[in-house]
């Protein structure tokens, strides 16, 4: 594919002799020369609005925010304070909790990936009702975290259905959203409930590319289900599994705001803080935009690691195509 | 797996399916109860459907206004996203030009900037340009947020369109813009549908961008409206549940009719590099 043109009348990106012939023919007219220039600029015209918006409203704010994070708040607004905001962050117990909760999410990540993976395996193996299960499981994934959070506010209320059910079998009651030791697990549980369908669908797309004769061969050789999963499914789907790991992690880091906002407001006792909620509070409630920017930069660094991982996965996927 | 084993597995899966549906059924049921019924017994199925809660939530609580706001903002955002995304996707996939690779990688990189990371400076940029608390401001914020994803998926889709189709259209005398309008838009329809539904869901479901960009009460989108219900109607659970139901039903309908396209959009990113 030609990437640049030496002759000014030949339109860019016009491979093939026939096309060049057509251009030469038209070049006799003056109009065609003007058109040639407009044609050459066309790719830039087509992409300009997207580039402008992405640069002005995503990349520029990113740079601006990093810059903010080294300035002061309030009276010190605009003056350089070096790493003072970052030091304050590390000292803030709420931010420490937020980072510790990120650690908790990383620890729970294998569970959040294994559940949809296992369910996808059973759906792929066509357990009775697999089509129905697929539709039902996927549904919560399209609901807003706000709606999910609002629904679970009702479900997990101290006098709500879940405690009632537990009471009926002789357990509980548990203060799901009021006990600092329980609330974070409750929120993560709801997050998994709300997103496992997304991962499930990705897994099923991976299964669609799986060579079913491999599984048949394993079965003929007398492999148990566990052996089949371990020795056939996991190696064949390694790429899908990596993709799900990374997207689930990104989802946990950036899409739990709605749940936190509706279900716990970061409480009880600040136990359900995540970096994104901390940023929101410092910016909107505490009027500390520079401190919030420092927290944003920390979150961005975490995301960068996850993102680079993802790009390398995508690259590998591209190469193997 | 043996036949019996499949049935054994199907039982917990059915219970899980029930646990997935039940919270919604419970909410819908509560929305149909009177306050008194709810306090006396929150679990039993109502024998009479009380639509008054829905009417109250829709009318006096202001969900109608929020609903209209959301509809307007989502429609405009999705239109712009698809227009700009398909233009850029066409250029990046089928028009070789200097710097196209760098732009594509830049776009991929922008995918990994979550809104939380840029929300402080972005709100300042929006305030400085007078776009904060305006519909164009929120629409622009949504377009900026979801454009990298849209461009990425449209580019991968257009890469699967045979180059010969584009070349043939050029030989027939079409300008680049003509090829875009007459070939790429119609041929991209399945991708535009999938990506468009996903973008619509993202915008409709968003709360953080709307909270930040639209501070005044009558500019609330539906999701922000639902969060405000929580403070106002803590002791009137049926009205609260009605508001939640109003916000959930459009998504439920889209899901029932367009489940395939949603799944296609979600998985497109996982299989295409």
Q: Are residues A119 and A252 in the same domain?
A: yes
Point out the residue among A3, A261, A276 whose CB comes nearest to the CB of B227: A261
Contact B20 A304 (CB under 8 A): no
Query: Residue A7 has what pLDDT?
Result: 39
On average, the pLDDT of chain A sits at 81
Q: Kindly state whether residues A41 and A91 are assigned to the same domain.
A: no
The 10s digit of each residue's pLDDT in A125-154 is 888 888 899 989 998 888 999 999 989 988
pLDDT for A32: 60
Closest CA to A1 of B11, B98, B118: B98
- B18, B118, B177: best mutation site toward chain A, by most A Cβ within 10 Å? B118
CA–CA distance, A25 with B204 (Å, rounded to integer): 52
Is residue A138 domain-shared with residue A204, that is, in the same domain?
yes
Q: Peptide bond preceding A42: is omega within 30 degrees of 0, i.e. cis?
A: no
- H/E stretch holding B189 reads helix B189-205
* Cβ atoms of residues B98 and B266 within 8 Å: no
A139 touches chain B (CB under 8 A): yes
pLDDT digits (tens, 9 = 90+) for B197-210: 999 999 999 999 99
Q: Is residue A56 part of a domain?
A: no
Contact at CB, B106 and A138, closer than 8 angstroms: no
- Tens-place pLDDT, residues A78-108: 778 888 889 999 999 999 999 999 989 888 8
Check if A262 contacts B (Cβ < 8 Å). yes
- CATH topology for B61-271 is MetI-like fold (1.10.3720)
Percent of chain A surpassing pLDDT 90: 26
A61 in any annotated domain: no
Tell me how close the Cα of B93 comes to any Cα of chain A, in angstroms: 10
Mention every residue, 6+ apart, whose C-beta is less than 8 A from residue B263: A138, A201, A205
User: Quick one: pLDDT at residue A29?
Assistant: 54
Residues on chain A touching B94 (C-beta within 8 angstroms): 13
Over residues B29-41, the pLDDT tens digits come to 888 888 778 777 7
Domain match, A223 and A124 both:
yes
The answer for A 159-178 residues in CB contact with B (under 8 A) is 161, 164
Answer whether A51 sits within 8 Å of B204, measured CB to CB.
Answer: no
Indicate yes or no: CB of B151 within 8 angstroms of CB of A154: no
Q: Is A50 in contact with B96 (Cβ distance < 8 A)?
A: no
CB contact (8 A) between residue A58 and residue B118: yes
Name the residue with higher pLDDT: A313 or B24.
Answer: B24
**Does the residue A143 lie in any domain?**
yes
pLDDT digits (tens, 9 = 90+) for B227-259: 888 766 667 788 888 888 889 999 999 998 888
For residue B85, give how far its alpha carbon lies from the nearest alpha carbon of chain A (Å). 7
Asked if pLDDT for residue A9 goes beyond 60, the answer is no
Q: Which residue has the higher pLDDT, A213 or A101?
A: A101
Q: Do B103 and A51 touch (CB under 8 A)?
A: yes
Could you read off the pLDDT of B114-159 as tens digits, one per residue? 888 899 999 989 999 999 999 999 999 999 999 999 999 999 899 9
ipTM of the complex model: 0.88
Distance CA A316, CA B95 (A): 24
Those of residues 197-236 in A touching chain B at CB distance below 8 A are 198, 201-202, 204-206, 209, 225
Say if residue B86 is preceded by a cis peptide, omega within 30 of 0: no
Domain of residue A174: give its range: 84-320
- Interchain CB distance below 8 Å, A122 and B13: yes
The residue of chain B nearest to residue A125, with distances taken between CA atoms, is B1
A198 and A310 part of one domain: yes
Q: Determine, for residues A296 and B118 on separate chains, whether the beta-carbon distance falls below 8 Å.
A: yes
Same domain? For A127 and A227 the reply is yes
What are the extents of the domains in chain B? 3-52, 61-271
What does the pLDDT read at residue A10? 38
For chain B, give the mean pLDDT: 87
Predicted confidence at residue B270, as pLDDT, reads 62
> Cβ of B6 and A225 within 8 Å?
no
- How many domains, in total, are found in chain A? 2
Distance, in Å, from the CA atom of B97 to the CA atom of A11, rounded to the nearest integer, reads: 11
Q: Are A295 and A278 a contacting pair, CB within 8 Å? A: yes
Residue in A151, A311, A319 closest to B244 by CB: A151
Please tell me whether residues A140 and A286 are part of one structural domain. Answer: yes
Q: How far apart are CA A293 and CA B116, in angstroms?
A: 10
What whole-number distance in Å separates Cα of residue B120 and Cα of residue B173?
A: 49
Chain segment A259-279, per-residue pLDDT in tens: 999 888 887 888 889 999 999
CATH of the domain at A136: 1.10.3720.10
Chain B residues in contact with A47 (beta carbon < 8 A)? 87-88, 91-92, 103
Same domain, A180 and A267: yes
Q: Are residues A182 and A128 in the same domain?
A: yes
């Amino acid at each position: 594919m030609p990437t640049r043109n030496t002759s000014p009348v030949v339109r860019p990106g016009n491979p093939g002799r026939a096309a060049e012939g057509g251009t030469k023919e038209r070049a006799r007219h003056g109009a065609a020369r003007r058109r040639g220039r407009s044609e050459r600029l066309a790719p830039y015209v087509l992409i300009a609005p997207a580039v402008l918006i992405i640069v002005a409203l995503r990349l520029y704010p990113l740079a601006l925010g990093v810059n903010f994070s080294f300035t002061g708040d309030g009276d010190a607004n605009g003056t350089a304070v070096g790493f003072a905001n970052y030091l304050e962050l590390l000292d803030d117990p709420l931010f420490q909790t937020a980072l510790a909760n990120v650690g908790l999410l990383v620890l729970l990540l294998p569970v959040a990936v294994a559940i949809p993976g296992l369910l996808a395996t059973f759906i792929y193996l066509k357990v009775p009702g697999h089509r129905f299960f697929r539709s039902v499981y996927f549904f919560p994934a399209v609901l807003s975290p706000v709606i999910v959070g609002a629904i679970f506010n009702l479900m997990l209320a101290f006098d709500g259905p879940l405690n009632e059910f537990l009471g009926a079998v002789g357990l509980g009651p548990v203060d799901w959203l009021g006990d600092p030791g329980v609330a974070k697990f409750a929120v993560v549980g709801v997050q998994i409930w709300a997103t496992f369908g997304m991962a499930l669908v990705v897994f099923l797309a991976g299964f669609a590319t799986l060579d079913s004769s491999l599984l048949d061969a394993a079965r003929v050789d007398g492999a148990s289900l566990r052996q089949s999963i371990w020795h056939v499914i996991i190696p064949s789907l390694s790429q899908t599994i990596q993709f799900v790991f990374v997207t689930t992690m990104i989802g946990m880091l950036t899409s739990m705001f709605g749940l936190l906002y509706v279900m716990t407001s970061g409480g009880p006792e600040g136990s359900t803080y995540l970096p994104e909620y901390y940023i929101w509070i410092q910016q909107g409630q505490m009027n500390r935009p520079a401190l919030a920017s420092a927290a944003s930069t920390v979150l961005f660094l975490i995301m960068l690691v996850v993102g680079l991982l993802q790009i390398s996965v995508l690259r590998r996927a591209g190469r193997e195509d | 797996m043996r036949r019996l084993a499949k049935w054994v597995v199907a039982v917990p899966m059915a219970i899980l399916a029930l646990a997935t549906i039940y919270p919604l059924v419970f909410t819908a049921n509560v929305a149909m109860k009177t306050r008194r019924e709810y306090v006396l017994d929150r679990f039993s199925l109502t024998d009479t459907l009380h639509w008054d809660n829905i009417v109250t939530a829709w009318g006096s609580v202001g969900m109608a206004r929020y609903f209209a706001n959301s509809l307007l903002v989502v429609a405009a955002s999705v239109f712009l996203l698809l227009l700009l995304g398909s233009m850029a996707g066409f250029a990046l996939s089928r028009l070789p030009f200097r710097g196209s690779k760098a732009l594509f990688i830049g776009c991929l990189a922008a995918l990994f900037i979550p809104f939380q990371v840029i929300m402080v400076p972005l709100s300042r940029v929006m305030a400085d340009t007078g776009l904060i608390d305006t519909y164009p401001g929120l629409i622009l914020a949504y377009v900026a947020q979801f454009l990298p994803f849209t461009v990425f998926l449209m580019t991968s889709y257009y890469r699967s369109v045979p180059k010969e189709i584009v070349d043939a259209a050029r030989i027939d005398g079409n300008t680049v813009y003509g090829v875009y309008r007459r070939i790429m838009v119609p041929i991209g329809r399945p991708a535009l549908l999938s990506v468009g539904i996903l973008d619509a869901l993202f915008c409709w479901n968003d709360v953080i961008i709307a909270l930040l960009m639209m501070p005044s009460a009558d500019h609330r989108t539906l999701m922000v409206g639902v969060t405000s219900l929580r403070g106002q109607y803590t002791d009137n659970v049926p009205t609260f549940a009605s508001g939640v139901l109003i916000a959930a039903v459009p998504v439920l309908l889209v899901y029932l009719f367009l489940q395939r396209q949603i799944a296609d959009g979600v998985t497109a990113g996982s299989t295409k590099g």
